[in-house]
Chains A and B, each alone.
Chain A
């Protein structure tokens, strides 16, 4: 009995004397939501966006800034992050990181060396989204305050996700996907770009999140194309849409086509399926892209009767042409940047792994010769609540003139 009491006491002492190992009260840590990595003469300039919980969820908001940002310079990423404690008032906790921003200069130089720390460190969850700050330093981007969604990192993440969901001109990339793309032989990496409209300095003031129409806005702007780990150039929104059609990353989007006579017709893509097949023909790689899309008529600003089958077929053909041109445009641009962002190489590797081993070292050359066979099939599923357009006559741009 006595010995069991003794051993119990010893066990309790062992546990208690260890002393709350690695415990951190919430009041002792600051939560980082975004991390910006920029090039610096001495290595990396790391900036973190730390949230001020009281401003976001506290009972009495003191109308202060909802975030603060701290920077530090280090030869390695790890050193820079540790040096943040010199400027930050509390220990920085990186587990809730939502966004990693590379400055454009940094992206052009090459982002490969930063991956190791991001993947290795146990505190990072690797489910954050990676972006490029277009035409500026990452530090500047993450200092900008945003109204409504008061955590700017969350704002950017939400915008990216919802625009990928409904507009399909952007692509969200998480860390592990990026690392794989950079490492893969048959696939080039992409990262979405984010730019700022308005004065950057003004954006860091509390006024920016208070005013209804914020003078400085953060907006998504094109997809950055990488060759290996270096940024080569940008895809426009249209090219981005084509890119998403090829990599089968379309959830929903809108396609505008001209009407038969006058006016414009908008189609809502509700379902899309893209199949890529590759083969080797006449010493050249050939990729056949077959796109099957289901659309609804969303907005007919012209007189077109959709109860007649021929009319529907005409619209379908028109839309097929439109998507085809988008896809061709994006392939052309990718060839200009000499980066296989669609993963055509991967398709060929899957079809014929042995042959791939022979060509993978020269894939970049071969990619430029790649011929794409594009086959688009569109089916109009329904025409919404009405079959006939609301207007009998096509509305015109200069209607006021005509009524005179």
Chain B
């Protein structure tokens, strides 16, 4: 009998944006032009056409109400044009167009356009289009004026000491925040437009001569092969350019802190900014980068080293505490000191579930509470945390459903999983924890060690834009150890990371400070 297989209908491959379309030139007649524009935009309600007569000629200004600054158009465009003085009555259309162009010279961006494709693109970008009757050319005048959020302090990566500004949703502002910090003529900026529907501006920023040209080329290559209809957030782009999809670990770093991005660029990394989001990507990203906070470099090196140590400790605690608890209590009671074991046994007395079920219950409850707390509006969110404290705390213990130690274990894991400066890493730890718990419940400590082995194998196999993910530990790079687990004083951080940067290695020549 022939086996029938079901095959899903494959969606037709997306047509490439670059395929040349028929370019439609502007018509000479003003009325026809206006109608074509209205029809192309489906007679949208926010199209504003303003028609007036100058020197007995009809002039028309078209813009999208939602995207422009009307004051700007009024003051710098219409008034300028109306106040123009015309020498003679009979001026040729050419001359008149030139005069209109010089009248609107006060606009920061001014382009001549002669076809509908460019016209529509500029219109959707927030420009105003000026058309002259009986003339097949138009002017595109920058008049963008969407209300934007100002530069505020960061919400996801706060510091005690350090700059308090953060990126916004506007690409130009974001570029400015980085340029302001790196006043180097070698700072290179390359722009791309991605997404057929969104036409999102994407900028690569790197330091020429410091960033490795191969990595820059690789980033360009990966961005250029993207063919999507929308990019709304850097997360969309991240998934399209990352090295490996099926991994729990992030291979692209993101931050909303301009100082952190600038520091990354100075190390030879490449920043990718996307219009419309304050989260800027930084590649290549190494495992240790997710343990580093920009504040580590602003505080004294002793406390920074201590805190980095805490973060690495927290990584293992968050990953292994519940699984170790399960393994020790169910498989290896002989490894627990007698007095502790007696007290654990006393707490477990009367608990109806095995340790694994108990742990899973509490961990999942905690994840639920965390998710609920984030999504809900603040006033309700605080109510959730009160309920959560009760559920996760005394009540569950009093009811005899979970043991008090388990509450401690779960809270410890919860605290530890939020200690990382980068949220992306805490996600991987939270997911891996469940795997380790099941391994511990089936095979005990042996299962945990097998899990750690597999994890180490996986991590060493990862690459971020060609750079080994575990560098500088595997491969071990002695010169880079000063800025990995520990942080040397500033005068000791002489070189940039070896694998990221191969050319302008030396970054410091300050002697050690002396009185």
Enumerate chain A interface residues (CB-CB to B < 8 A).
Answer: 15-16, 18-27, 29, 31, 33, 51, 53-54, 56-59, 93, 95-96, 98, 123, 125, 151, 154
Enumerate chain B interface residues (CB-CB to A < 8 A).
Answer: 329-331, 333-334, 338-339, 341-351, 354-355, 438-439, 441-444, 447
User: Which A residues are in CB contact (< 8 Å) with B349?
Assistant: 27, 53-54, 58
Task: Tell whether, in the assembled complex, residue A31 and residue B334 are in contact, meaning their CB atoms are under 8 Å apart.
Answer: no
Task: Tell whether, in the assembled complex, residue A25 and residue B342 are in contact, meaning their CB atoms are under 8 Å apart.
Answer: no
Task: Tell whether, in the assembled complex, residue A25 and residue B441 are in contact, meaning their CB atoms are under 8 Å apart.
Answer: no
User: Which A residues are in CB contact (< 8 Å) with B444?
Assistant: 22-23
Closest A residue, CB atoms, query B450: A15
A182 → B minimal CB distance (Å): 26
* Complex partner residue of A25 from B339, B347, B354, CB under 8 angstroms: B354
Task: Tell whether, in the assembled complex, residue B346 and residue A57 are in contact, meaning their CB atoms are under 8 Å apart.
Answer: yes
Task: Tell whether, in the assembled complex, residue B330 and residue A23 are in contact, meaning their CB atoms are under 8 Å apart.
Answer: yes
How many angstroms from the CA of A151 to the CA of B338 in the assembled complex? 11
Task: Tell whether, in the assembled complex, residue A25 and residue B355 are in contact, meaning their CB atoms are under 8 Å apart.
Answer: yes
Looking at chain B's contact residues, is the secondary structure mostly helix, strand, loop, or mixed? Answer: helix
Q: Could you show 7 A-B contacts with beta carbons less than 8 Å apart?
A: A24-B331, A25-B330, A25-B354, A26-B344, A26-B348, A27-B345, A27-B350
How many angstroms from the CA of A22 to the CA of B441 in the assembled complex? 11
Task: Tell whether, in the assembled complex, residue B330 and residue A96 are in contact, meaning their CB atoms are under 8 Å apart.
Answer: no
Knowing A18-B442, A25-B354 are in contact, say whether A96-B333 is a contact too (CB < 8 A).
yes
Task: Tell whether, in the assembled complex, residue A29 and residue B333 are in contact, meaning their CB atoms are under 8 Å apart.
Answer: yes
Knowing A25-B354, A31-B345 are in contact, say whether A16-B334 is a contact too (CB < 8 A).
no
User: Which B residues are in CB contact (< 8 Å) with A51?
Assistant: 342
Task: Tell whether, in the assembled complex, residue A20 and residue B344 are in contact, meaning their CB atoms are under 8 Å apart.
Answer: no
Task: Tell whether, in the assembled complex, residue A23 and residue B441 are in contact, meaning their CB atoms are under 8 Å apart.
Answer: yes
The 4 closest A-B pairs by CB, nearest first: A95-B334, A57-B343, A53-B345, A53-B346
User: Which A residues are in CB contact (< 8 Å) with B355?
Assistant: 25-26
User: Which B residues are in CB contact (< 8 Å) with A98?
Assistant: 338
Closest B residue, CB atoms, query A27: B348
Closest B residue, CB atoms, query A56: B342
How many angstroms from the CA of A29 to the CA of B344 in the assembled complex? 12
Task: Tell whether, in the assembled complex, residue B338 and residue A25 are in contact, meaning their CB atoms are under 8 Å apart.
Answer: no
A54 → B minimal CB distance (Å): 5
Task: Tell whether, in the assembled complex, residue B338 and residue A26 are in contact, meaning their CB atoms are under 8 Å apart.
Answer: no
User: Which B residues are in CB contact (< 8 Å) with A18?
Assistant: 442-443
Task: Tell whether, in the assembled complex, residue A154 and residue B338 are in contact, meaning their CB atoms are under 8 Å apart.
Answer: yes
Knowing A96-B333, A125-B334 are in contact, say whether A20-B442 is a contact too (CB < 8 A).
yes
How many angstroms from the CA of A56 to the CA of B97 in the assembled complex? 97
Task: Tell whether, in the assembled complex, residue B333 and residue A93 are in contact, meaning their CB atoms are under 8 Å apart.
Answer: yes
* Complex partner residue of A95 from B333, B339, B441, CB under 8 angstroms: B333
Task: Tell whether, in the assembled complex, residue B329 and residue A25 are in contact, meaning their CB atoms are under 8 Å apart.
Answer: yes
How many angstroms from the CA of A16 to the CA of B351 in the assembled complex? 23
Knowing A15-B443, A23-B444, A27-B351 are in contact, say whether A53-B342 is a contact too (CB < 8 A).
yes
How many angstroms from the CA of A27 to the CA of B400 in the assembled complex? 13
How many angstroms from the CA of A361 to the CA of B160 in the assembled complex? 80
> A23-B330, A53-B345 provided; 16 other pairs, C-beta below 8 A?
A15-B447, A20-B441, A24-B331, A25-B329, A26-B330, A26-B344, A26-B345, A27-B349, A27-B350, A53-B342, A54-B346, A54-B349, A56-B342, A56-B343, A57-B342, A96-B334
User: Which B residues are in CB contact (< 8 Å) with A25?
Assistant: 329-330, 348, 354-355
How many angstroms from the CA of A352 to the CA of B94 in the assembled complex? 124
